[in-house]
Amino acid sequence: MYCIDQNSDEPILTLFDQIGHDDEHPEQPYVDGNDFAKELLYLDTLGKKRIQIYINSEGGSVKQGFSIISAILNTKTPIDTFVVGIAFSIAGIISLMGRKREAMDYASLMFHNPYNSDGSEDKGLEIFRKSLITAISSRTGLNESEVEKIMSETTFYTASEAEKKGLLTVIPSDSVNKPRSLKKEDIQNFAKTVLNKLIDKPKKESMKVIAKALNLNPEASEEAILSAFNAIKNKADELEEIKNKLAKAEEECTHLRDKIAKMEEEGKAKEKLEEECKAKAQAEEAKNKFSADAKAKIEEAGKSRRLDVKAIAGYVALAKDETSLKTVMETIEAFPIVIKSPEMKFPMSNKLIDKFPMIESVGTDKQGNPIAGDTTSLMNAINSYKSEKNNK
């Protein structure tokens, strides 16, 4: 509806009328701000290079203007605004929302506080005013006090004044639509046109005209004229060759940039992989050292408790870290230290049996030999018995 060409990589939306319908003047053309915003958001889904909004509007509905402002600020596609006439009221604020803001040197802008058409005041107007001040300040860098003063005084700006204020960039009228420089094809077509116009004229007169067109002496010979044409053609060929070389050089530069970027990316990946491998090796080394130390501790504690190899291996398997090692050691250390009961090689009388306490067995080893419990009482009794015997 408002887009010039939706198939363009840089489509243009036109904001060329008042924003919103005027109930008092229904015959006047207008831009439906809500439909405009919807069309802008649709273009944003098409993967365009950028979207341009040409503005020549006296403003209008603040509410519908907010729809356009929100659409501009929430698109992924870059949105550029271009004031080609006037941008007053809400249209002026819309012009400040673009990524790149430009205006022709003859353009003008105006800003004022929002108002009701019947002149009444209400709380909604104040909310609108504060919202607009925030929008302008955030996009221009002007502080809110300065923006509030501009709006309260109904301020007009020429394009150059707006540029000095930092609101936009001016495009000089004499910088657009300039004649293009002649290319090889243009020179050849020009020569062909001149020759066709002179083909029916007398040869001598035609050659004078051609010589004059080539900035030669009117009496120049055909050879001189032909030489001038060849020089022009050769110059055009040289320019074309330079153009092709530049294009090829740019292509090679692009290839080199991509290659360098890929090499840098691969280098970073290699560094990251080396760091990960180093960290993994250090972790593995620390793990192996911990396992070896833990195994030594468990084996030492297990042997003192006469644990068999299988039991010790089981405890070693459970000790995965410091916490589990601590638990395993506490469990093993809770077992009493056991000593194999010495074999009695002498007959014991009832008197000796009464003298020495019995040794309580706590099980047998793999060979079936009994394993004694605590022998402290027995050893004390033996030492006491020896002392009594020596004394006698």
Q: Which two tokens stand for residue 275?
A: 């760091």
Q: Does the pLDDT value for residue 344 go beyond 50?
A: no
Lowest-confidence pick of 130-144, 202-216, 323-337, 352-366: 352-366
pLDDT at 294: 84
pLDDT at 349: 47
Domains (range + CATH), the chain: 12-175 (3.90.226.10), 339-391 (no CATH)
Residues 146, 269: Cα–Cα separation, whole Å: 51
In this structure, are residues 76 and 55 in contact, taking their beta carbons and an 8 Å threshold? Answer: no
Residue 364 binned pLDDT confidence (cut-offs 50, 70, 90): low
Residues 216, 208: Cα–Cα separation, whole Å: 9
DSSP state letter for 179: P
pLDDT at 345: 44
Rank 199-203, 252-256, 387-391 by mean pLDDT and report only the highest.
252-256
Residue-wise pLDDT for 290-341, tens only, equals: 888 888 888 888 888 778 888 888 888 888 888 988 888 888 887 776 555 4
In this structure, are residues 105 and 171 in contact, taking their beta carbons and an 8 Å threshold? Answer: yes
Lowest-confidence pick of 23-32, 35-44, 268-277, 355-364: 355-364
pLDDT at 253: 87
DSSP state letter for 3: B
Residue-wise pLDDT for 187-215, tens only, equals: 566 566 655 654 544 455 566 677 777 77
Residue 123 binned pLDDT confidence (cut-offs 50, 70, 90): confident
Mean pLDDT, all residues of the chain: 81
Q: Does the pLDDT value for residue 254 go beyond 90?
A: no
User: What DSSP line would sit under 226-293, residue for residue?
Assistant: HHHHHHHHHHHHHHHHHHHHHHHHHHHHHHHHHHHHHHHHHHHHHHHHHHHHHHHHHHHHHHHHHHHH
